[in-house]
């Protein structure tokens, strides 16, 4: 029996483990893939307070070493569900079951990928899913953004502050985002709209050098030079295993406010997997601290 089982070992999950362990609680941290989460794919992190610059993988490694030194137990197991027995919760994995007094869900999100050959290999080497995280690295360069919603429009505007040229590629002839953002994008000389178009292939060996786009109306293809490609076609939370445990919104995010409390007593949600406006490394860390302390208070 552990005091707290944390599901997901990204920044939110590991920060929750840190705070819970320092509060004297026994903690089990479960992760299905890689300790560190999405940040491990970022080549440089420059927007975390007090840290000038660090690679995402080094950031994750440091946090993992910190919680390990505090005695946090870690296991690579995929969670398939949670049984809520009131004072005792049972986290079910593909390898077994773990009883605990409180659960923190910190499963994060998966960025929707284009599904193109070489996309995974070029992630962190020209392909990115976070303009705020990586945009400054392309100062003075030429980049492309793929997407038609608010995120893509905001990314294009953000990147236009750093880059000499931003291609905004959308598969339709009009955008789904807010009209105010659309007007702002159209008013930027450095942003070129590439509408009714999809990215057909990625060019470059070890680093991205360009992209090939295909017009969905004329079927014509053309190659665009690009130092960076920012994919902004949505995020998918990894919350399917908890759909009958806690309330989810229409997009699959766990409904939880800044107190990280869910609809189920003793079940908390931290980081990108919950409903929130800003999904950044700093907000994930903040959620981890809040959720851990709330879980400690719940246990008593």
**Strand-pair category, 165-169 with 191-194:** parallel
Q: Does domain 113-231 have CATH number 3.50.50.60?
A: yes
State the Cα–Cα distance between residues 98 and 7, nearest whole angstrom: 11
Active-site residue, selected from the candidate residues 3, 11, 100, 134: 134
- pLDDT tens, position by position, 237-286: 989 999 999 999 999 999 999 999 999 999 999 999 999 988 889 999 99
Beta strand residue intervals within the chain, DSSP E: 2-7, 27-31, 73-76, 79-84, 89-93, 97-105, 109-111, 127-128, 142-146, 165-169, 191-194, 197-203, 210-215, 221-225, 228-231, 235-237, 267-269
pLDDT digits (tens, 9 = 90+) for 23-34: 999 999 999 988
- The reply to whether 133 belongs to the active site is yes
**Global pTM?**
0.75
Could you read off the pLDDT tens digit of each residue along the chain, which spans 300 residues? Answer: 999 999 999 999 999 999 999 999 999 999 998 899 888 877 678 889 999 999 889 999 999 999 999 999 999 999 999 999 999 999 999 999 999 999 999 999 988 899 999 999 999 999 999 898 889 899 999 999 999 988 899 899 999 999 999 999 999 999 988 899 999 999 999 999 999 999 999 999 899 999 999 999 999 999 999 999 999 998 889 899 999 999 999 999 999 999 999 999 999 999 999 999 888 899 999 999 999 999 999 999
Domain with CATH 3.50.50.60 in the chain: 2-110+235-299, 113-231
Active-site option among 100, 130, 163, 273: 130
Q: Which CATH code for domain 2-110+235-299? A: 3.50.50.60
Q: Determine the 3-state secondary structure of 225 from DSSP.
A: strand
Q: Are 166 and 143 in contact (CB under 8 A)?
A: yes
Active site residue 130: yes
- Angle, CA of 106, 108 and 112, to the nearest 5°: 165
Among residues 100, 133, 273, 296, which one is catalytic? 133
Name the CA radius of gyration of the chain, rounded: 21
Rounded Cα–Cα distance for residues 44 and 284 (Å): 17
Does 196 qualify as catalytic in the annotation? no
């Amino acid at each position: 029996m552990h005091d707290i089982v944390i599901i997901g070992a990204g920044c939110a999950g590991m920060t929750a483990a840190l705070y819970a362990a320092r509060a004297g609680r026994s903690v089990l941290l479960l992760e299905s893939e890689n300790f560190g989460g999405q940040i491990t794919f970022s080549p440089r992190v420059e927007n975390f307070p007090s840290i000038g610059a660090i690679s995402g993988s080094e950031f994750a490694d440091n946090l993992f070493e910190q919680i390990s030194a505090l005695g946090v137990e870690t296991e690579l197991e995929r969670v398939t569900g949670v049984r809520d027995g009131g004072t005792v919760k049972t986290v079910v994995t593909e390898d077994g079951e773990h009883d605990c007094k409180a659960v923190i869900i910190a499963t994060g999100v998966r960025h929707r990928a284009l599904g193109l050959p070489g996309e995974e290999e070029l992630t962190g080497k020209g392909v990115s899913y976070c303009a705020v995280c990586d945009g400054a690295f392309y100062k003075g360069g030429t980049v492309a953004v793929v997407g038609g919603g608010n995120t893509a429009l905001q990314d294009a505007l953000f990147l236009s502050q750093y880059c000499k040229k931003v291609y905004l590629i959308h598969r339709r002839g009009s955008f789904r985002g807010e009209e105010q953002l659309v007007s702002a994008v159209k008013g930027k000389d450095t942003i070129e709209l590439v509408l009714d178009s999809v990215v057909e292939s990625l060019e470059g060996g070890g680093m991205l050098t360009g992209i090939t786009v295909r017009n969905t109306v004329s079927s014509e293809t053309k190659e665009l030079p690009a130092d960076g490609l920012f994919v902004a076609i949505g995020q998918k939370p990894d919350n399917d295993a908890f759909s009958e445990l806690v309330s989810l919104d229409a997009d699959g995010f766990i409904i939880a406010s800044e107190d990280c409390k869910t609809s189920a007593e003793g079940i908390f949600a931290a980081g990108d997997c919950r409903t929130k406006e800003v999904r950044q490394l700093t907000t994930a860390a903040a959620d981890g601290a809040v959720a851990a302390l709330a879980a400690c208070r719940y246990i008593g």
